[in-house]
Amino acid sequence: MSTLQSIPVVAPPAEEPSGGGNLLANVFDELLAFCRSRSLFMLHYCTGCGAIELPPAMTSRFDMERLGIQPMVTPRQADILLVTGYVSTKTLKRIILTYEQMNSPKYVIGICSCTVNGGMYWQSYATAKKLSDYMPVDMYIAGCMPRPEAVISGLRELMENIRAGRSDNWRDYYQRYDHYLGNQQRLFGEHWQTPTDVIGEARHYGQFGPETLGEHTALLERHQTPLLPFEMRLGLGDVSKGGKS
């Protein structure tokens, strides 16, 4: 059990914002960070054997709920995406979609060695070896499989990171979307796309970074019709394309 600092996925902790002198704003941000750290809804994407260690972690013996952690069912509701085992190419598509559908701040935890480096599947042609190539991972919990204690410990560390404002890799996905998309395209082919609109979100929430757009997103835009949401309209204006998939 360890956060593997050697894997360059976590951006160096940003300097604590100076706060601009507004004490109240700081307090408010602290409060929000605290609440975020004490209320984590997790979506366990049970890809492999690691999932078996989660029930003990949740139930009477270890009781995650006392830490404010509870399981949730859909990506919209969840804060943490737990990927619990080897990630095949096919599964990875679903994981990426699920990740993109989660609301930020969102955190990814890779459990088991398989998510770190492919583990015992390291030579399989159909397995994605390193989860952090495809999405920002906040925490790896290595082991084959990690015991509930290890899982809990990892989660506690994540909580601490969140409270201290050190864990906001979700921004990285927006800011370096081209990078992640490139890796995804390399694996899935150039026609890869999800029904989500990451670039639009980056623009909407002001998370645009220098590497949000690039050659890979250009490739994406070439064949993708963006899925614009249906706006309510009275039909008096022009009939614009509502969007297609």
Which x/- pattern, by CB under 8 A, does the window 206-235 give for another protein?
---------------------xxxxxxxxx
- 100-119: which residues touch another protein (CB under 8 A)? 101-105
Which x/- pattern, by CB under 8 A, does the window 62-101 give for another protein?
-x-xx-x---xxxxxx-x-------------xxx-xx--x
CA distances from 98 to 4, 25, 196 (A): 24, 33, 10
Report if residue 147 touches another protein, rule: CB under 8 A. Answer: no
Report if residue 35 touches another protein, rule: CB under 8 A. Answer: yes
Nearer to another protein, 21 or 195 (CB): 195
**Residue 172 burial (CB count, 10 A):** 20
User: Rounded CA gap, 228 and 202, in Å?
Assistant: 14
> Which residue do the tokens 């290595």 mark?
142
CB of 123 to another protein, least distance (A): 26
The two counts, helices (H) then strands (E), for the chain are 9, 7
Q: Which helix (H) or strand (E) holds 82?
A: strand 80-84
Choose, by CB under 8 A, the member of 52, 59, 89, 120 that binds another protein. 59
Report if residue 46 touches another protein, rule: CB under 8 A. Answer: no
Nearer to another protein, 53 or 142 (CB): 53
Contacts of 108 (CB under 8 A, 6+ apart): 80, 81, 83, 99, 131, 135, 136, 137, 138, 139, 169
Contacts of 231 (CB under 8 A, 6+ apart): none
**Residue 179, SS3 per DSSP:** helix
Choose, by CB under 8 A, the member of 5, 60, 125, 210 that binds another protein. 60
Applying CB under 8 A, which residues contact another protein?
31-32, 34-36, 38-39, 59-60, 63, 65-66, 68, 72-77, 79, 93-95, 97-98, 101-105, 194-197, 200-201, 204-205, 227-236, 239, 242-245
